[in-house]
Amino acid sequence: MSRRFSLAHLTALNLNPPDLVDTAAQAGYQAVGLRLLPFTFGGVAYRLMDDPLLLDETLARMRDTGVQVQDIEILRLNETFQVSPYQSFFEIGQRLGAKNILVAGEDRDPNRLIDSFARLCEACKPYGLTADIEFMPWLAVNNLPTARALIEAAGQDNGGVLIDPLHFTRSGSTLDQLADLPDSMVHYAQICDAPENLPTDTAALLQLSRSARLAPGEGAIPLQAMFQRLPQDILISVEIPNEQQSHERGHVAWVRHCLEASRQVLGPEND
């Protein structure tokens, strides 16, 4: 069975969804992830919930190319989270055929966070969506054990954890913890690489995360060891934003390089 790869929107965030679909098709990806909600206030996002023309064009490009939408992002579980404002987000996700929602756990009240995550899982399940927590060192859900504990406490079968190799390495999470993670909690995973000496302060880590990641095999993250401990049939989201490389090579060449590097590191076929 061939591995399946999705082009994460952050890798080419200045492309709108139709152009991202075209770029992914040209580079050889089977799917894309779409950023419909911003990660930071005023950040880049393409609200297909509010733009029917852009939605129609995205769906048309998907039909023309065969490229699917794997995940939609990014939903932030903060102290003011309520499910109701995200109804149209779920509906558009279903229209796009998305499978997963990328979720950030920000609320530092653990009981309220568990309740919010459980309610999110319940609300998005009828739309065929999973809710996948991407732990990040600067957030409340900052490592793999915390993410796993949240999923277990919420008790929803469509709750999952999203592994980002950069955040995994920086968070102090271990390969043993990854190996112990139930397969049912892993719906897809991201891939990227980074230098050996990662920043220790949040600002520098954010800068690296958003604009200076490396293609697999060009850094020091033990990607082969990580992915040997993950389910072998999951889709792999290629999230490798690098402003310099994308500018110098062009979008299609850069994302194709990232895909080829991912295949070389992981191998094109599952065992």
The pLDDT of residue 271: 42
Number of domains observed in the structure of the chain: 1
In a domain, 137, yes or no: yes
In a domain, 76, yes or no: yes
Write the pLDDT tens digit of every residue in 63-75: 999 999 999 999 9
Expressed as residue numbers, the domain containing 53 is 5-266
In a domain, 208, yes or no: yes
pTM here is 0.96
81 within 8 A of 115, measured Cβ to Cβ: no
The strand order across the sheet containing 188-191 reads 159-162, 130-134, 100-105, 68-77, 31-35, 5-7, 235-238, 188-191
Instruction: Tell me what the pLDDT averaged over the chain comes to.
Output: 96
In a domain, 245, yes or no: yes
The pLDDT of residue 199: 82
Provide the H-helix boundaries in the chain: 17-27, 52-65, 87-96, 110-124, 144-154, 165-171, 175-179, 202-211, 223-228, 243-249, 251-266
Q: Domain with 223 in it: what CATH number? A: 3.20.20.150
101 within 8 A of 130, measured Cβ to Cβ: yes
Host H or E run for residue 234: none
Token match 């894309």: residue? 32
CB contact set of 148 (below 8 Å; sequence gap of 6+): 161, 177, 181, 185
In a domain, 271, yes or no: no
76 within 8 A of 33, measured Cβ to Cβ: no
The pLDDT of residue 4: 96
Question: How open is the CA angle 199-200-206, to the nearest 5 degrees?
Answer: 60
The pLDDT of residue 1: 59
In a domain, 127, yes or no: yes
Rounded distance between C-alpha atoms, residue 59 and residue 95, angstroms: 9
Q: Provide the token pair at 267.
A: 């191998």
The pLDDT of residue 10: 97
42: confidence class by pLDDT, cuts 50, 70, 90: confident
Mean pLDDT for 153-180 is: 97
87-96 and 110-124 are packed helices; what angle lies between their axes, rounded to 10 degrees?
Answer: 50
The pLDDT of residue 114: 98
In a domain, 162, yes or no: yes
Does 268 score more than 90 pLDDT? no
In a domain, 224, yes or no: yes
The pLDDT of residue 40: 86
Does 269 score more than 60 pLDDT? no
Percentage of the chain with pLDDT > 90?
91
